[in-house]
Amino acid sequence: MKAQREKAKPVSRAALAKAADRRLVALSVSIQDDAALFDEDIRGSRAHVAMLAAQGIVPRAAARRIDAGLRRVRAEFAAGKIRFDEKLEDVHTHVERRLGELVGADAGYLHAGRSRNDQVALDERLFIVGACDRCDASLAGLQRALVAQARRHERTLLPGYTHLQRAQPVTLAHHLLAFVEMLWRDRQRLLEVRRRAAVSPLGAGALAGTTLPIDRWRTARALGFAEVTRNSLDAVSDRDGAIELSFAVALSAMHLSRLGEEVVLWSTREFGFLVLDDAFATGSSLMPQKKNPDAGELARGRASRALGDLVTLLSLPKNLPLSYNRDLQEDKRPLLEGPKALCLTLDALAGLVETARFQPERMREALGGGETLATDAAEYLVEKGVRFREAHEAVGAAAAFATRAGRPLSSLTPEEWRRFHPAFGKDVLRCFDPVRSLSRRELPGGPGPRRVRRELERWEAALGMRRKR
């Protein structure tokens, strides 16, 4: 076998008189990246040879031997028993050469009616479909972790923020459900990417199909695809699926970066809103007191990688004439690594969220002395017929007065409030009860307790969670 491997020439050199220069080989080899597509490549080959046999292009007995050989090659790839040879360039040639060693000359039937161009296009589409499913499962796992924590903290109050300044009171449940909404949009995007990717390009050949009587629909159905591509030139040069998946991954990674940032902030002593479980934190090599939120920080860092992958994939085809060009080989690393990194990040954050201990007392304390309820005081005046801008100015003046006096806004008396507008009555002090404030915010999408409870129930049902009573 070793001797055979040393004599092997990559199939792309078959019509050339000279062997490839070692420097070209070093530049061209892609097996270090596309070996990850061995399963997709062999699935496509098995479907292809079954179709060739059904169409009478390949003898059925030979097709059976080829299929058995492909199953063995897959097992060897999975077990790490295939030794890579840079002379064979890519995963397709490694599979075909090993198949030849196993079944002999019959392996030469396999490539009838196809090219490496439509073969790699198929491999990538199969990968995209599987990657969408894997990312969706991990997204759902983080959603369930967030919903479970939200249920436990249905009544935990904390300030909502704008510009990282305390703004208005919300509940922790409402805050966590905001991330659940983001992740749901991520899942919907992946579903659309999956649908558009599940179209078979096999049969497009190098760029113009084949004269052999192949059945493209049979192969598509065998691979779980409901459609075939409609233009052979587009089929071998299209990388929209890779770009769309990279975009979906990058946007999801950005959402995780936002969650990671809050984990980092909230776990500081300055915020003190949550305590990380030791299993999801790290120590310092120098400072023994440190407990570092590495999962949150890595979520931010991975988002940068995802954005870089997206830019790479968008840039690759931008100047390419039809149809296939070797530039497209460079799509493998960002395409294959991006979804993997996203799933790793999602799974780690799910564990972090599941085990985190939120601090309701510290969150309630952060509401301060009524400043987060200033808008309620302005709306109190609006309910009495005062124009909003006038009400806004009155409450702003009251807040400035309280600040100068070094007092919380909620400590002002009704008489002091009337200095700033005569419409303030004794009941103005009711505006500074955060529980009452939330109870009056039952509008759709709002943080009112009944609304949040209904949202929790809706998400528990959507995610297949059974509420513990």
Print the SS3 string covering 327-366: HHHHHHHHHHHHHHHHHHHHHHHHHHHHHCEECHHHHHHC
Residue 430 three-state SS: helix
Q: Which is the catalytic residue, given 30, 92, 111, 163?
A: 163
Closest CA to 311 of 242, 259, 255: 242
Closest CA to 264 of 254, 255, 276, 252: 276
The dihedral over CA atoms of 196, 200, 204, 205, expressed in degrees to the nearest 10, equals 130
The single residue of 284, 315, 411, 439 carrying the catalytic annotation is: 284
In 126-151, which positions are buried (b, 16+ CB within 10 angstroms) versus exposed (e)? bbbbebbeebbebbbbbbbbbbbbbb
The number of angstroms, rounded, from the C-alpha of 304 to the middle of its chain's C-alpha atoms is 13
Q: State the Cα–Cα distance between residues 101 and 222, nearest whole angstrom.
A: 26
Catalytic residue flag (residue 421): no
Residues 6+ apart with CB under 8 A from 427: none
Q: Is 163 a catalytic residue?
A: yes
| CA neighbor of 194 nearest in space, from 258, 137, 236, 119 | 137
| 1 vs 80: CA distance, rounded Å | 17
What is the CA 44 to chain-centroid distance, rounded? Answer: 26
What is the token pair recorded at 90? 């890519």
Chain centroid to Cα 99, Å, comes to: 36
Q: What's the rounded Cα separation, in Å, for the pair 469 and 467?
A: 6
Residues with catalytic function: 163, 284
